[in-house]
């Protein structure tokens, strides 16, 4: 039986051990595995060469990939330079929703099949989204900080200071893929009315939510949560004009990509009261710069791009990647 040389390029989240265990569980001794560990998340990811959201060094990767037919990675920078140096690579599996750290044109030129693992973090990201939404609606971080500081703000029971319930609230989801769909199911369990805008959604399986145009969603939704992919068409899709359409005091949540939002417009809407609250896990610049206006904006909840950070996400990513390797071998 022919043995396949596989390189697993893990990090400190989706570790090489998780990847190797998933591969051996499915393929046994059909795979000969070598490994490389990247510094993320102890060192933030960023651009490497012409690719983004990558970790590691091109030269180290070039040395490791020699003679390898299959690579499984999450963050390795597969730039044109790295791909040009591969001599046997046929399959590249990226343990993420999309292969943003791969030069897809260069991979296609060399006949390298690129696969990813969409949905690997759908459960985690959906649960984090709802947690942020509830934290913003009920101002939990602010009151938690107050109690720890010795405050007891019974004045927050005043009618003009209290938060809102999800039950009976109209929530708009911009994007209805794996994460948005799961968020919609959770919100319906809270008895919220859920509107969705996604030109690519399967309208035959909306799970009890209603598809609308973006303008109608913005006009009606008291809570808006973003779940769209970042593309040239969706970049800065929510700016001052769109925020102005929202009902007074609406809440905005973004756990998708920072580039979907004009954050300066968001801060102005928070400061003016047009937005009642906001909660963000992603930003247009990461890490969030020291001078970011979001750091001092009122009624905002911030987390450092951790929506997908669960043990189950890492394990699921490794398993889905192994499934892609199995599918490749079955079609060879």
Per-residue pLDDT tens digits for 211-239: 999 999 999 999 999 999 999 999 999 99
Instruction: Report d(CA 196, CA 175) in Å as an integer.
Output: 7
User: Model's pTM, two decimal places?
Assistant: 0.91
DSSP codes of every residue in 174-236? E--SHHHHHHHHHHHHTT-EEEEE-TTS-TT--TT-EE--HHHHHHH-SEEEE-----TTTTT
Q: Which two tokens stand for residue 163?
A: 């938060």
- Do 4-118+311-331 and 122-302 share a fold? yes
Question: Where exactly are the structural domains of the chain?
Answer: 4-118+311-331, 122-302
Confidence of residue 329 (pLDDT cuts 50, 70, 90): very high
For residue 216, indicate whether it is catalytic. Answer: no
Q: Which residues of 78-117 are buried (b: 16+ CB within 10 A; e: fewer)?
A: bbbbbbebbeebbbbbbbbbebbbbbbebbeeeebebbbb
Instruction: Report d(CA 64, CA 35) in Å as an integer.
Output: 8
Q: Which residues of 315-324 are buried (b: 16+ CB within 10 A; e: fewer)?
A: ebbbbbbbeb
**Among 115, 120, 182, 305, the one annotated catalytic:** 305
Instruction: Report d(CA 220, CA 224) in Å as an integer.
Output: 10
**Among 216, 286, 293, 315, the one annotated catalytic:** 286
pLDDT of amino acid 207: 82
* CATH class of the domain whose range is 122-302: alpha beta
Structure confidence by residue, pLDDT tens digits, 67-96: 999 999 999 999 999 999 999 999 999 999
For residue 305, indicate whether it is catalytic. Answer: yes
Instruction: Report d(CA 196, CA 181) in Å as an integer.
Output: 9
**Among 181, 182, 257, 316, the one annotated catalytic:** 257
Rounded to an integer, the average pLDDT of 272-287 is 95
For residue 286, indicate whether it is catalytic. Answer: yes
Domain 4-118+311-331 belongs to what architecture? 3-Layer(aba) Sandwich (3.40)
């Amino acid at each position: 039986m022919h043995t396949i040389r596989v390189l697993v390029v893990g990090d400190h989240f989706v570790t090489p051990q998780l990847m190797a265990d998933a591969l051996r569980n499915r393929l046994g001794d059909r795979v000969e595995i070598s490994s490389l560990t990247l510094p993320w998340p102890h060192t933030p990811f960023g651009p490497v060469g012409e690719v983004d959201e990558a970790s590691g060094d091109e030269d180290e990767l070039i040395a490791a990939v020699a003679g390898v037919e299959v690579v499984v990675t999450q963050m390795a920078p597969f730039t044109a330079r790295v791909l040009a140096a591969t001599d046997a690579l046929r399959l590249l599996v990226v343990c993420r929703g999309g292969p943003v750290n791969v030069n897809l044109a260069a991979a296609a030129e060399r006949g390298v099949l690129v696969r990813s693992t969409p949905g690997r973090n759908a459960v985690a990201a959906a649960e984090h989204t709802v947690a942020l939404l509830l934290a913003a609606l009920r101002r939990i971080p602010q009151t938690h900080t107050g109690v720890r500081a010795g405050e007891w703000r019974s004045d927050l029971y005043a009618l003009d200071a209290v938060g809102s319930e999800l039950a009976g609230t109209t929530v708009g989801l911009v994007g209805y893929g794996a994460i948005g769909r799961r968020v919609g199911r959770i919100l319906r369990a809270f008895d919220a009315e859920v509107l969705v805008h996604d030109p690519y959604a399967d309208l035959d399986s909306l799970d009890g939510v209603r598809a609308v145009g973006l303008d109608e969603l913005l006009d009606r939704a008291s809570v808006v949560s973003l779940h769209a992919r970042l593309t040239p068409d969706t970049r800065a899709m929510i700016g001052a004009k769109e925020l102005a359409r929202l009902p007074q005091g609406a809440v905005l949540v973004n756990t998708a990509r920072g580039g979907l939002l004009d954050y300066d417009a968001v801060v102005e809407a928070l400061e003016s009261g047009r937005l009642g609250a906001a909660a963000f896990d992603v930003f247009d610049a990461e890490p969030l710069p020291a001078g970011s206006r979001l750091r001092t904006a009122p009624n905002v909840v911030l987390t450092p791009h951790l929506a997908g950070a669960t043990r189950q996400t890492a394990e699921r990513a490794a398993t889905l990647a192994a499934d892609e390797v199995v599918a490749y071998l079955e079609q060879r």
